[in-house]
Amino acid sequence: MLAEGKSFITLQGMSAEALLLAVKELAERPLPDGVAPTVRDGRAVATAFYEASTRTRLGFQFAARALGLDVIPLDVSASSVNKGESLTDTIRVLADYGIAALILRHPDTESMTVAMAASACPVINAGNGAGEHPVQTLIDLSMIYQRFGRLSGLKVTMTGDALHGRTIHSLIMALSLFGNSITVVSDPGLRLSSDLGSSAVRMSAPKLIETEFLNSGILKETDVLYMTRVQAERGSANRPIIMTEKTQQDLNPNAIVLHPMPRTVELPEWFDTDPRAAYLHRNRIGLGVMTYVLGTVIGGGRKA
């Protein structure tokens, strides 16, 4: 749930109406201009990233700046985590210092449950291992809505590491609410877990198909091509699904290509000049989404 004073951990439980309303509101809001307000809010938020991040970590820091908030970044490498301190004890330190919200990324899928139990302030999920990434999904939904003006009636193809890819997991569960047709293309060793696949189907009985090869038949009917990398840091050593010149030629000319970033070999930089490369807008739209999420969760203060 995305609401004032509440932790934002998952999109599960949000209705299609609530998600669409949030995306429409985001589409109507001006993007942050990067200028900090002259009057500070007086409150502080903390970021704790136990995994590497560029866009989400910096995005929330810039979002806090736009809201007039101070940012307390936890340097995990220089903290007592290296002495064996538990996540619970670290979270208690940050919460007891009076922060307004905690933005957390952690490799354990259960980390958000632990953090919410230990924290007196709201927690924002910036990625919990191979679990979910609800903030990135709001970014993805916003880009889809800006291109098509809707979140339903779409044929979405997702490629790459479906087993470990938290952005794929969250996006499937969100798009399933709108009854979209979803095809997941991945190496057999990187397919969705049976639990996730059945959960996504139960959320609104979408047409969810898994296959091994990204062929021309799929590409010609695709509205949204969502590419992801193979996650070597989670032990993946399987075959990536790569954008080739043949893929580019076969892809629906009216489609968009999205990628949560970072990319490796699956999406070459030469594709950046293709008009369907919507992922190039991810950073600016993402900053707007993170400002919206943070402003909503902490309430009060400056919200633009």
Strand 123-128 relative to strand 70-74, pairing: unpaired
- pLDDT attached to residue 161: 86
- pLDDT attached to residue 191: 83
- pLDDT attached to residue 195: 61
- pLDDT attached to residue 13: 85
DSSP H helices in the chain: 16-28, 55-66, 87-96, 111-118, 134-148, 166-176, 194-204, 216-221, 245-250, 282-298
User: How is the chain split into domains, by residue range?
Assistant: 16-132+284-298, 134-282
Query: Is the dihedral angle over the CA atoms 255, 260, 262, 263 positive or is it negative?
Result: negative
Residues 269, 31: Cα–Cα separation, whole Å: 26
Q: Which CATH architecture describes the domain 134-282?
A: 3-Layer(aba) Sandwich (3.40)
Low-confidence ranges of the chain (pLDDT < 50): 200-202, 204-205, 301-304
Residues 271, 56: Cα–Cα separation, whole Å: 23
Q: Which CATH architecture describes the domain 16-132+284-298?
A: 3-Layer(aba) Sandwich (3.40)
Give the CA distances from residue 97 to residues 92, 105, 227, in Å, rounded to whole numbers and listed in that order.
8, 19, 40
- pLDDT attached to residue 199: 58
Residues 104, 112: Cα–Cα separation, whole Å: 8
- pLDDT attached to residue 197: 54
Neighbours of 137 (CB within 10 A): 25
- pLDDT attached to residue 231: 72
